[in-house]
Amino acid sequence: MASQQQCRPRPTPCGSKSPPEQPLQVKVVGLFKSSSFHIAKSAAEELKNEIWEYSSYVMCFVNNQFLGDAFDFQKWAQKMWDIVDFKTPELYEALTVDYSAKFLRDTKHDFVFLDISIDLHPIGRLIFELYCDACPKTCRNFQVLCTGKAGYSQRGIRLHYVGSIFHRIVQNGWIQGGDIVAGKGDDGESIYGPTFEDENFSIPHDKRGVLGMVNKGRHSNASQFYITLQPTPYLDRKYVAFGQLIEGTQVLKNLELVPTENERPKQQCMVIDSGDLYA
């Protein structure tokens, strides 16, 4: 997601300041809109505390000094070299979407989405990267529950997240949903039957946005899932993590802020659509 080039400034008119002799180190780091900044961790470290206030698609650096976003880079290029870019923002938007899609597909992981509403008001989309190379069976269960392609279970449960709710919000812990039976938080159903086994515990709960399976003890995964709100290492080796939120951080924040009573949301937080991101 990063590119680095050496550039030399244009010759300056007579009487103006001479350009530096050494080449400039220009680095452009791509980001996903509203995504977790682990995608550009090295750039984030250079920004230090400024990273949490940053919301653009890209970060631009010159000689290891943070310059700004794409528009700041264009202004800098025009000032240094009289370069004017006539491409429209709409074209850049399309190029960004194409590049982003290619980058995601090249990971060989699956990507799914959940569209969320609060009290029937749509608030946006959560997009997850599924680590199907590490937990193929668990990821398959979640993916098919997102698409609804499995139809109904033997006991007549619709195997689809659409219409299900987030029934639990644990402050500084996680949000929990996926009870596709009655939404009370005491049931669920997998695509393999009532439950399936713990696949492995290779993915740590080391950041916000980790996606994992809820269970009632060993080897009791069904359809309920959680999304962490901060690192939760106490869940390691007890619950199977299998994915990561890569877009929709503000949606997650909005869910986190829903008032609760005994960890039960006072407002209805519902999945109104779900599926494969690149079907």
Q: How many CA atoms lie within 13 A of 167 on its CB side?
A: 17
Q: What's the confidence (pLDDT) of residue 36?
A: 41
- Stretch 186-199: mean pLDDT, rounded? 97
Contact 46, 64 (CB under 8 A): yes
Q: What is the pLDDT of residue 62?
A: 82
Q: Is 243 left (phi over 0), alpha (psi -120 to 50) or beta?
A: beta
pLDDT at position 80 is 85
Instruction: Report helix, strand or coil for 244.
Output: strand
Q: With 0.75 as the threshold, say if the pTM is over it.
A: no
In the predicted model, is pLDDT for residue 13 greater than 60?
no
Distance CA 70, CA 66 (A): 12
Q: Compare 2 and 238 and report the one with higher pLDDT.
A: 238
CATH architecture of 108-276: Beta Barrel (2.40)
What would the pLDDT profile of 117-165 be if each residue is shown by its tens digit? Answer: 999 999 999 999 999 999 999 999 999 999 999 999 999 999 999 999 9
Q: Is the model's pLDDT at 2 over the cut of 70?
A: no
Band (97; pLDDT cuts 50, 70, 90): low
Mean pLDDT for the chain overall: 84
Contact by Cβ (8 Å): 37, 47: no
- In the numeric block, which tokens belong to residue 175? 């949000």
Cα of first residue to Cα of last residue in the chain, in angstroms, is 23
Domain locations in the chain as residue ranges: 2-104, 108-276
| Residue 35 or 133, more confident | 133
Sheet holding 2-7, edge to edge: 2-7, 24-30, 58-62, 65-68
